[in-house]
Chain A
């Protein structure tokens, strides 16, 4: 059974703080993704990684960065959190292209 975990379910941060969201998968998947989910906007891709140390910008990368030093771990970094980054953040992984994506439980981030 594929397991994708995220470091926190809920986070409250202050404007300007540096925020780290971590995602870990235990199935040796090649590809990993970070999305944010907002009402009426669906799932929007922030960054993705198709291999260790590789990263590609998604549709809304501004204000975010990522790190993938190990195959099982993909981190999303908010360099200086802003209120418009309040959202639900979902991590996902998949074995390879055109295969099922498996999602983590999500992190609901509130930036005050």
Chain B
């Protein structure tokens, strides 16, 4: 079946540095790619999303890039802060129209003060 691979599984950065998380998807018909942040003990919450007709989207310190040809998309966090520490999940829409999102396995980001 369709799947989404997410790397790395854990990432530690110094406060103020940048963090990059990468996802690769298999369904060439996928056209919606959300990113969720899950803090410890809390529910996942959307932080940014991108659609296939756009190559890049930015929201303050967070940006997402999409390469449709290579079928991968990445989350970029600049000037990291301790409150960015969380698990981040990428997802891709199922292109067959089944309404599903296929999630990556998550990246645990630790920002070291």
Q: Is the CB of A43 within 8 A of B32?
A: no
Interface set of A (CB-CB < 8 Å, partner B): 31, 35, 40-45, 48, 50, 56, 58-59, 90, 97-98, 100-106
Query: How many angstroms between the C-alpha atoms of A19 and B86 in the bound complex?
Result: 30
Closest CB in chain B relative to A83 CB, distance in Å: 23
B73: CB under 8 A from chain A? no
B1-20 vs A: 1/0 string, CB under 8 Å?
10000100100000000000
Binds A, one of B55-63, B64-72, B96-104: B96-104
Q: Is the CB of A42 within 8 A of B104?
A: yes
Interface residues on B, range: 20 to 34
- 8 new A-B contacts, CB < 8 A, other than A42-B105, A48-B100, are A31-B99, A40-B9, A43-B44, A44-B103, A45-B100, A50-B99, A56-B98, A100-B34
Closest CB in chain B relative to A42 CB, distance in Å: 4
With A90-B43, A100-B46, A103-B43 known as contacts, the answer to whether A42 contacts B103 (CB < 8 A) is yes
Q: Is the CB of A43 within 8 A of B43?
A: no
Minimal Cβ-Cβ distance residue in B for A96: B99
Closest CB in chain B relative to A49 CB, distance in Å: 9
Query: How many angstroms between the C-alpha atoms of A97 and B104 in the bound complex?
Result: 19
Partner of A101, one of B6, B9, B34, B104: B34
With A56-B98, A97-B93, A100-B34 known as contacts, the answer to whether A105 contacts B43 (CB < 8 A) is yes
- Closest 6 pairs between A and B when the two form their complex, measured CB to CB: A42-B105, A98-B32, A103-B43, A43-B103, A100-B46, A42-B103
